[in-house]
Structure 1
Amino acid sequence: MSELSDGTRLSDHEVRDRLRKYQDGGPISALFETGAIAEGGVLEEALDHVMQELESAGQHDEADRVGDVLTYVCDLHPRPAVPNWVNRSA
């Protein structure tokens, strides 16, 4: 689990919760559905794009929540699909 700016850690369950409404049929959905984090930066770019859109819409707290997922991804990439990912608890 990755450490956030407030010293807490983001769990796998929290990652799924934060990404639920941003599934894109691509790299964000792959992380949401399987826990997979591919090499190459495509997921990072997709998350950054979501953050920028949220910031532009004035949704700063939500952008920060997605930014926490980006930190999680940067700390753990690359990573293959995680067994039992969708059933992992908090």
Structure 2
Amino acid sequence: MTKKEFVEDIATRGEYTKKEAEKIVNLFLETVEDNLEKGNSVGFVGWGKWEVVERAAREVRNPQTGKKMKIKAKKVVKFKVGKILEDKVKAAK
């Protein structure tokens, strides 16, 4: 699902105009981004949690050339799915 399709789905389900739905989706995304930038986690009980984690520096091997490469430490966003959402996805056919 693309962002455009997501906005259209929100507009239909919530009986909003597409413009209102887009504003809601953008506000949600900006709020999540702002909190992650500040180092805060964002979670919804039963649904899931986004958090920023530090990935350690490490040495890897290029599978094509076999040459060793170093990857610097960096911050990444991690999402952990909640139990309710996990169960719904498992049950879906």
Q: TM-score range by the shorter chain?
A: under 0.3
For the pair shown, the structure with the greater C-alpha radius of gyration is 2
Structure showing the higher helix proportion among its residues: 1
Relative contact order higher in (CA < 8 Å, ≥ 6 apart) = 1
Q: Normalising by the residue count of structure 1, what TM-score does the alignment of the two structures yield?
A: 0.27
